[in-house]
């Protein structure tokens, strides 16, 4: 077993050739990732994924995209893509990663030196778990209309309002949030980006059960929550610009073909088990979806190459998310349809001695076309920014 203590984390991963690097990452995942957590059916809770998070942290691999000086691996875009591909290949579950993927990079770019010193090491160490306080009951797609308010009172902001659909807030120690700090200007111009401790008096978290029966998102109530002025990121009223800076890389992650490829493989197994591979009607639909997935991979590769060359992604990357999630959704629906009367049975369902989960994908496909900007919002973006259609 090869482990690198944090002491020798100065390895220049980018100097390795791609295949050596891929081999090292693959070996480590295969040896250390808990097998019962491969391809998890739901978002993993902190208590389930904590040990793996800490294992990666000790290995020096918890923040592959961060610069080395902040405890990251400092991977080049090309190596980062390999790292992500190996995660996906081995079915490594997603940890509560808002700290690593969102607030961390944001603080590196926009935070103060104090923010970086205070927060970044604790994200790396797994001491701070972050959640994202953006959506509100009346502000979903129209996020900029948010009404949670922060009023400056001496050296503190006093925050009042309500956040909604906050993923895994029940596991979080901290929340980064958007709050209105000026009501007199255009809605995008009166928003600030703040960091709050979830233990602050006045914060109440209430998990929301979803239609699959799981508690993955929460409501967060903020009642006279006091946050030191120093927890403002960037300038006051510049929160919208900061929040938007993150959307680029997120959209290529959301546009990965992996989720659809995974369901496709499950549906293929199921089709063989049920003898549907002899059914011409099923096969025509299955093959169409099979090629929808394969052809998506060709399009995804084109955007990945762009990232690897160090080019900035344009607004056209939105089409990846739309096609990835809608293909995933069509596959999930065909899976349910294919098993006919078994299409409402929860959990692993037995067919001729084999077991298959039917409903998880159907449920997971619902938020997929909603979060990260609904597919309708993505289409709006492409229509105006890529196709130059008038407003």
Q: What does the binding site for other proteins look like in residue numbers (CB under 8 A)?
A: 265, 268-269, 271-273, 277, 283-284, 286-288, 290-291, 294-296, 298-299, 301-302, 316, 319, 322-323, 354, 376, 379-380, 382-384, 386-391
Using the minimum distance from each CB to other proteins, give the nearer residue, 247 or 299: 299
**d(C-alpha 245, C-alpha 252), whole Å:** 14
Contact assessment for residue 173 and residue 241, using Cβ atoms and an 8 Å cutoff = no
Contact assessment for residue 238 and residue 189, using Cβ atoms and an 8 Å cutoff = no
- The residues near 334 (Cβ < 8 Å, ≥ 6 apart) are 267, 285, 286, 289
Using the minimum distance from each CB to other proteins, give the nearer residue, 59 or 380: 380
Using the minimum distance from each CB to other proteins, give the nearer residue, 68 or 283: 283
Minimum CB separation of residue 178 from other proteins in Å reads 26
Using the minimum distance from each CB to other proteins, give the nearer residue, 16 or 283: 283
Structure-block tokens of residue 191 = 């928003």
Contact assessment for residue 24 and residue 16, using Cβ atoms and an 8 Å cutoff = yes
Contact assessment for residue 254 and residue 372, using Cβ atoms and an 8 Å cutoff = yes
Minimum CB separation of residue 37 from other proteins in Å reads 17
Contact assessment for residue 73 and residue 64, using Cβ atoms and an 8 Å cutoff = yes
State whether the Cα torsion 371-374-378-381 is positive or negative.
negative
Q: Beta 156-167 vs 149-153: how paired, if at all?
A: antiparallel
**Could you give the 3-state DSSP secondary structure of residue 44?**
coil
Using the minimum distance from each CB to other proteins, give the nearer residue, 151 or 294: 294
Give the phi and the psi of residue 266 in degrees, each rounded to 5. -65, -40
Minimum CB separation of residue 390 from other proteins in Å reads 5
**d(C-alpha 386, C-alpha 391), whole Å:** 13
**Could you give the 3-state DSSP secondary structure of residue 217?**
strand
Region at 260 (left for phi over 0; alpha for psi -120 to 50; beta for the rest) = alpha
* Residue in 250, 268, 311, 326 annotated catalytic: 250
Minimum CB separation of residue 229 from other proteins in Å reads 41
143-146 — which CB contacts under 8 Å span 24+ positions? Answer: 143/178, 144/187, 144/188, 144/191, 144/240, 145/187, 146/178, 146/179, 146/180, 146/191
DSSP category for residue 186: -
Minimum CB separation of residue 35 from other proteins in Å reads 12
Using the minimum distance from each CB to other proteins, give the nearer residue, 124 or 317: 317
**d(C-alpha 276, C-alpha 256), whole Å:** 28
Using the minimum distance from each CB to other proteins, give the nearer residue, 81 or 208: 81
Minimum CB separation of residue 391 from other proteins in Å reads 6
Minimum CB separation of residue 365 from other proteins in Å reads 18
Q: Beta 130-133 vs 174-180: how paired, if at all?
A: parallel
Minimum CB separation of residue 196 from other proteins in Å reads 36
Using the minimum distance from each CB to other proteins, give the nearer residue, 228 or 314: 314
For the question of residue 19 being annotated catalytic, the response is: no
Helix (H) or strand (E) holding 180, with range, is strand 174-180
With CA atoms as reference, report the closest residue to 146 among 57, 222, 212, 65: 222
**Residues assigned a catalytic role:** 250
């Amino acid at each position: 077993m090869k482990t690198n203590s944090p002491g020798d984390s100065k390895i220049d991963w980018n100097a390795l050739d791609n295949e050596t690097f891929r081999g090292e990452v693959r070996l480590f995942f295969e040896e250390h990732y808990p097998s019962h957590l491969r391809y998890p059916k739901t978002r993993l809770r902190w208590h389930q994924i904590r040990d793996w998070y800490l294992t990666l942290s000790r290995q020096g691999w918890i923040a592959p995209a961060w610069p080395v000086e902040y405890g990251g691996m400092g991977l080049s875009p090309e190596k980062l893509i390999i790292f992500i591909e190996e995660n996906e290949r081995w079915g490594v579950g997603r940890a509560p990663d808002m700290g690593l993927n969102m607030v961390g990079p944001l603080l590196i770019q926009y935070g103060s030196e104090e923010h970086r010193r205070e927060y970044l090491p604790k994200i790396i160490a797994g001491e701070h778990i972050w959640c994202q306080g953006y959506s509100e009951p009346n502000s979903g797609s129209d996020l900029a209309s948010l009404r949670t308010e922060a009023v400056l009172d001496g050296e503190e902001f006093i925050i009042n309002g309500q956040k909604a659909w906050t993923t895994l807030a029940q596991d979080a120690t901290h929340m980064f949030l958007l709050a209105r700090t000026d009501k007199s200007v255009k809605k995008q111009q009166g928003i600030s980006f703040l960091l709050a401790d979830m233990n602050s008096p006045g914060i109440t978290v209430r998990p929301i059960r979803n239609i699959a029966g799981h508690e993955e998102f929460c409501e967060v109530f903020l009642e006279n929550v006091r946050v030191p002025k120093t927890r403002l990121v960037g300038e006051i009223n510049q929160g919208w610009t900061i929040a938007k800076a993150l959307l680029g890389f997120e959209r290529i992650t959301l546009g990965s073909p992996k989720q659809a490829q995974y369901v496709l493989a499950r549906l293929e197994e199921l089709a063989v088990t049920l003898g549907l591979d002899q059914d011409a009607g099923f096969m025509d639909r299955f093959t169409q979806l099979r090629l929808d997935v394969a052809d998506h991979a060709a399009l995804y590769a084109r955007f990945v190459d762009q990232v690897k060359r160090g080019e900035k992604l344009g607004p056209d990357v939105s089409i990846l998310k739309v096609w990835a999630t809608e293909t995933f959704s069509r596959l999930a629906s065909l899976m349910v349809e294919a098993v006919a009367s078994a299409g409402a049975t929860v959990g692993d369902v037995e067919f001729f001695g084999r077991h298959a989960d039917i409903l998880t994908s159907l449920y997971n496909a619902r938020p997929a076309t909603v979060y990260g900007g609904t597919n309708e919002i993505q289409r709006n973006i492409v229509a105006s920014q890529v196709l130059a259609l008038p407003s």
